[in-house]
Amino acid sequence: MSNGNQSIQEVKWTDDAIRWQGGLHGDKLSNLQNIEEDSSSGDDNQCLVDPFADPDPTELQTFQFVVPSSIHCSEGASSSTSDEKDKNKQTQTHIEVSIQGYKSEADAVWKSTGLTLWKASHYLCEYQVENPQLFTGNVLELGAGLGLNGILAWKIMCLFAKSAENSVCITDGDTDALIHLRKNIQRNQMNESSNNEPEITCHQLLWGAITSQTFLSQIAQNKKYDTIIASDIIYAPSIVAPLWETVHTLLEKDGVFVMAFARRKVPVSIEMVLESAKGRGFGYELVKEDREEGIWVYLFRFEA
């Protein structure tokens, strides 16, 4: 796995700073002090063992996706005959993505929500395989967690846009999630090898105007992204504005931001997110929804 030629020094941060402490960046000095205190506290707190704890709280999941072998088929083409349907089946391509993380009920998820998979990510995957033409050029994933969507985007790119000029950058702010994310990227790179293979990189990215500008100059080398994707990333009001600051900074003027949003028992509604998007100059289009589950997939573009 490549991490690119540039890097930013990563800070210790987990997303419970948002959910329980109310801020995106939190008090870094306090967080670092707590880390040092935890590491120097000895073994006194390590002797308590939960007899009911799951002996293996992690799981490896393998996902299969079916993508048409050609993304340039005529939209008006008819495939009503059985021969044509059989031909379409033969031209389908299967993509496999393996993801390891924690089970949703594991205690570790309370500290870092990105350590497990959430339901909106599956809806974004469906949209990705239905619209593989989006994944050319430079692609960025925000709040990737375990990396399912970003790795799928890279595998689609390896099939349909195989060029060293194309790339996928997968990011998260949570240092615990980044550990598992990088392992998942390596796991899925094992069966992909080509001299012309699109680059896949992984970096920490904390949202906000200043951090995104630093990311743009030091990591992206001032090259903005054609497509940004994200799923299940909003669970506190305090991160809505920094999200749009980040997208505004990193998205090309003619680019598209694809976001899957799931309704949750948190004080953030899709209406709040859409209103904030409009305030930052984005128009939006609903492209996929499940009203019963409360999941929506939106496309966001800069308004003319």
Q: What is the per-residue pLDDT across 196-229, written as a single tens digit (0 to 9) for each?
A: 789 999 999 999 999 999 999 999 999 999 999 9
Q: Give yes or no for residue 159 having a pLDDT over 50.
A: yes
**Cα–Cα distance between 277 and 23 in angstroms, integer?**
20
Query: Tell me, what's the pLDDT at 7?
Result: 72
Kindly report, residue by residue over 95-107, the tens digit of the pLDDT: 999 999 999 888 8
Tell me the domains of the chain and their CATH numbers.
54-302 (3.40.50.150)
Query: Tell me, what's the pLDDT at 16?
Result: 86
Mean pLDDT for 137-141 is 97
Mean pLDDT for 181-210 is 90
Kindly report, residue by residue over 26-54, the tens digit of the pLDDT: 444 334 333 333 333 344 333 344 545 66
pTM of whole model > 0.85? no
Q: Give yes or no for residue 111 having a pLDDT over 90.
A: no
Query: Tell me, what's the pLDDT at 75?
Result: 38
Query: Tell me, what's the pLDDT at 151?
Result: 98
Kindly report, residue by residue over 241-257, the tens digit of the pLDDT: 999 999 999 999 999 99
Query: Tell me, what's the pLDDT at 35?
Result: 33
For residues 49 and 194, the model is more confident at 194
Mean pLDDT for 53-66 is 87
Q: Give yes or no for residue 55 having a pLDDT over 90.
A: no
**Cα–Cα distance between 70 and 95 in angstroms, integer?**
14
Query: Tell me, what's the pLDDT at 110?
Result: 76
